[in-house]
A and B are shown apart, each in its own frame.
Chain A
Amino acid sequence: MTDTIAVEAKSARKTYGQGTEAVTALKDVSVQISKGEFFTLLGPSGCGKTTLLRLIAGFETPTSGEIWLDGKDISADPPNKRPINTVFQSYALFPHLTVAQNIGFGLEMLGRPRKEVAETTAEMLALVRMESLAGRRTAQLSGGQQQRVALARALAPRPKVLLLDEPLSALDLKLRKEMQSELKRLQTETGITFIFVTHDQEEALTMSDRIGVMSAGNILQIGAPRDIYTSPANRFVADFIGETNFIDATVDATGATLSGGQHIDIAPQRIAGRSGKMTLALRPEQLRIVPAGHGLPATLTHSVYFGTDIHCHLALPDGTELVARMQAAADGSAAYTPGTQVGLILPPDAIQLLED
């Protein structure tokens, strides 16, 4: 088991400042990241994801706890002694060097022979498809090109682990999508362990093998994208990953009773023997709207047209607001006029139960 683990954080804690002004950015986080894995740290800004990345890179030393790499404690090693490279959010390309010199920098510092540096640089230029710009200064490159150089520079020394600190945040949407698949391709081709930091849940879902969702210095849930989306561990994760409807209810063996007295069936495997006051969580695409008289009575407050689908905002009699996402009808049917009384079907096997 241990030889499949690339990086491990053991109760890593990081506190900045002292006394009453001390801020704990990371609270005893433990996580194991496997070799060859695309692991994403996902969370809002200030959740500690970048701090964890900097601890792994060696730019910061943990206040307590340890960072292990390949079964060895590297907590005390400086960054230039760790076989780990970083793609910085700002790219941090050397402005006085050409594209090729930037890429060869790491190998040169490792004292590799000139020939090997040149060969690997050429290889990396090909890998990120930048051969034609090898002699350019980095200031002359576009954002996407700088991104590729930063990637090639970090990959050139063949690190055991590649750290990526929100590398796509500065790119526009179209370029970001391109780079997402590019990154995934590079990870598969090189087989290097990637640790990716982002606050973009869609990015995390589409690229990762596993995601660690972070909030306020803790990792709340670690799992495959599908598991995290369909079975969020708590209300924060459910809310942060995708849109979620929350309904307060009292749960018993057969289902849940809402505050208005209506009863909803819930699949027994979802209840898993639990009972008492809980939050029901349901994705917008899982809600079904039916004509009034069936299902749960609700009022359509307004709807928003998104092209491929329509988001219907609904209110339950007790005031709980819900969003249902449906495919926009091809005939452009205008059935969703505000104020319409409708029925809501909550599929029993789709409802999540979250303890508060």
Chain B
Amino acid sequence: MPSSSEDLAETARVRRNWLLSTPALVLLALGAAGPLLIVAVYSFLEAGEYSGVEWRFSLDAWFQILFHRDIFDDTISLADAHLTIFWRSVKLSLLTTIATFIFGFPTAYFIATRAPKQRALWLFLITIPFWTNLLIRTFAIMEVLRNQGILNTLLMKIGLITTPIQILYTDTAVLIGMAYVYLPLMVLPMYAAIDRFDFRLVEAGYDLYASRWQVLRRVILPIVKPGAIAGSILVFVPSLGAYVTPRVLGGGKNMMIGNFIDLQFGQGRNWPLGAALSMVLLVIVGAALLAYVRVSTKENPHG
């Protein structure tokens, strides 16, 4: 029967396709899921004496994330230091996202409203820092912010301040550094959204008695919101796991999760705790992504 021979051919084709993609699938499984699995397993093991892990099941690492056991009298207290680091990471990441939006939206708007021929140049200028090493860029920011740096020298020359402001090695320095590093990630999706925006709607807004501010808030922003959400995800997620910027500009004192994890695998010699912290970071990022997806797909009755 022709239909059964067709079915057979179809089955053979499907099988061949699976076979052909097997090497790629194996590579993906080993390369992406494998390391993640190792980290997950390590978080349930005991810390080794000098580093590494002892292959004994233990929930100590997960316990240590939130609680601190006194080594002398075994009393249990909340691990304030860890919570502070978590809170700082989330707070700085949120502030970075807000800062990149505040600077990124006007930038993207400016580029999208240039003549088409000029836009490529402006976009190129925005992406130039991408081609430079992150560490070098961060040290450049350090040069601007330090006590004898460009900013303080300038402010003292003008006479606004008499003694340098301590910006370097503070949360503010980390915030400025991350906002600078991640700004292009906000500008690009925002630009794409504004570029698609129909500017005749702005005229319609003015025609219907909206002020400039109302046109921005009631017409432009709601319509380019998907771009802002995409940009926020692109900025927030890497901010949360940032390592280089808080390390250089925060001076080791103002740690973020990334640095704290690094500490556990290095001087802290507590690989399971580092692994557990990595899993927590993964969960926070996943939760943030889920929340964004929920917000962006939800039908908002007020636009």
Q: Please tell me which stretch of A7-15, A102-110, A181-189, A340-348 contacts chain B, meaning at least 4 of its Cβ atoms lie within 8 angstroms of it.
A: A102-110
Q: Are A85 and B207 in contact (CB under 8 A)?
A: yes
Return A50 CB to nearest CB of chain B, in Å. Answer: 12
A97 and B209 alpha carbons, distance in the complex (Å): 17
Known interface pairs A90-B200, A109-B214; A97-B303 also in contact (CB < 8 Å): yes
Which residues of B lie under 8 Å from residue A101 when comparing CB positions?
Answer: 303
Which residues of A lie under 8 Å from residue B222 when comparing CB positions?
Answer: 96
Q: Are A92 and B209 in contact (CB under 8 A)?
A: no
Q: Are A96 and B203 in contact (CB under 8 A)?
A: no
Which one of A59, A78, A105 lies within 8 Å of B208 (CB-CB)? A105
Q: Are B209 and A110 in contact (CB under 8 A)?
A: yes
Q: Report if B229 contacts A (CB, 8 A).
A: no
Known interface pairs A59-B203, A88-B204; A96-B303 also in contact (CB < 8 Å): yes
Q: Are A80 and B303 in contact (CB under 8 A)?
A: no
Q: Report if A79 contacts B (CB, 8 A).
A: yes
Known interface pairs A92-B200, A94-B201; A80-B207 also in contact (CB < 8 Å): yes
A153 and B207 alpha carbons, distance in the complex (Å): 11
Count, chain A residues at interface, CB 8 A: 25
A105 and B211 alpha carbons, distance in the complex (Å): 12
Q: Are B201 and A78 in contact (CB under 8 A)?
A: no
Count, chain B residues at interface, CB 8 A: 18
Known interface pairs A94-B219, A96-B222, A109-B214; A153-B208 also in contact (CB < 8 Å): yes
Q: Report if B130 contacts A (CB, 8 A).
A: no
Q: Are B204 and A94 in contact (CB under 8 A)?
A: yes
Q: Are A88 and B210 in contact (CB under 8 A)?
A: no
Known interface pairs A88-B200, A92-B201; A79-B207 also in contact (CB < 8 Å): yes
Q: Are A109 and B207 in contact (CB under 8 A)?
A: no
The residue among B201, B211, B223 with the most chain A CB atoms within 10 A of its own CB is B201
Which residues of B lie under 8 Å from residue A79 when comparing CB positions?
Answer: 203, 206-207
Q: Report if B198 contacts A (CB, 8 A).
A: yes
A101 and B301 alpha carbons, distance in the complex (Å): 10
A85 and B208 alpha carbons, distance in the complex (Å): 7
Q: Kindly supply a per-residue 1/0 record for chain B positions 266-303, scoring 1 wherever the CB is within 8 Å of any chain A CB and 0 otherwise.
A: 00000000000000000000000000000000000001
Known interface pairs A94-B219, A97-B303; A109-B204 also in contact (CB < 8 Å): no
Q: Report if A46 contacts B (CB, 8 A).
A: no
Q: Report if A215 contacts B (CB, 8 A).
A: no
Which residues of A lie under 8 Å from residue B223 when comparing CB positions?
Answer: 94-96
A84 and B207 alpha carbons, distance in the complex (Å): 7
Q: Are A106 and B303 in contact (CB under 8 A)?
A: no
A157 and B207 alpha carbons, distance in the complex (Å): 11
Q: Report if A86 contacts B (CB, 8 A).
A: yes
In the complex, the chain A residue whose C-beta lies closest to that of B225 is A96
A86 and B209 alpha carbons, distance in the complex (Å): 11
A95 and B222 alpha carbons, distance in the complex (Å): 10
Return A170 CB to nearest CB of chain B, in Å. Answer: 14
A139 and B207 alpha carbons, distance in the complex (Å): 21
Return A59 CB to nearest CB of chain B, in Å. Answer: 6
Q: Report if A351 contacts B (CB, 8 A).
A: no
Q: Are B203 and A92 in contact (CB under 8 A)?
A: yes
Residues 201-256 (chain B) with a chain A CB within 8 angstroms: 201, 203-211, 214, 218-219, 222-223
A282 and B152 alpha carbons, distance in the complex (Å): 85
A78 and B207 alpha carbons, distance in the complex (Å): 9
A57 and B204 alpha carbons, distance in the complex (Å): 11
Q: Are A109 and B303 in contact (CB under 8 A)?
A: no
In the complex, the chain B residue whose C-beta lies closest to that of A135 is B301
Q: Are B200 and A78 in contact (CB under 8 A)?
A: no
A110 and B207 alpha carbons, distance in the complex (Å): 11
Q: Are B209 and A80 in contact (CB under 8 A)?
A: yes
Q: Are A92 and B303 in contact (CB under 8 A)?
A: no
The residue among A78, A92, A106 with the most chain B CB atoms within 10 A of its own CB is A92
A236 and B8 alpha carbons, distance in the complex (Å): 74
A157 and B210 alpha carbons, distance in the complex (Å): 12
In the complex, the chain A residue whose C-beta lies closest to that of B222 is A96
A79 and B204 alpha carbons, distance in the complex (Å): 10
Which one of B198, B200, B201, B209 lies within 8 Å of A109 (CB-CB)? B209
A154 and B214 alpha carbons, distance in the complex (Å): 18
Q: Kindly supply a per-residue 1/0 record for chain A positions 146-175, scoring 1 wherever the CB is within 8 Å of any chain B CB and 0 otherwise.
A: 000000011001000000000000000000
Which residues of B lie under 8 Å from residue A106 when comparing CB positions?
Answer: 208-209
Which residues of A lie under 8 Å from residue B210 when comparing CB positions?
Answer: 80, 105, 109
Closest CB pairs A-B (n = 3) = A106-B208, A92-B204, A109-B209
**Could you name 11 residue pairs across A and B whose Cβ atoms are closer than 8 Å?**
A59-B203, A79-B203, A80-B211, A86-B204, A88-B200, A92-B203, A92-B204, A105-B205, A106-B208, A109-B214, A154-B208
Known: A79-B207, A96-B223, A106-B209. 7 other contacts (CB 8 A): A86-B207, A88-B200, A94-B201, A94-B205, A96-B303, A101-B303, A109-B211
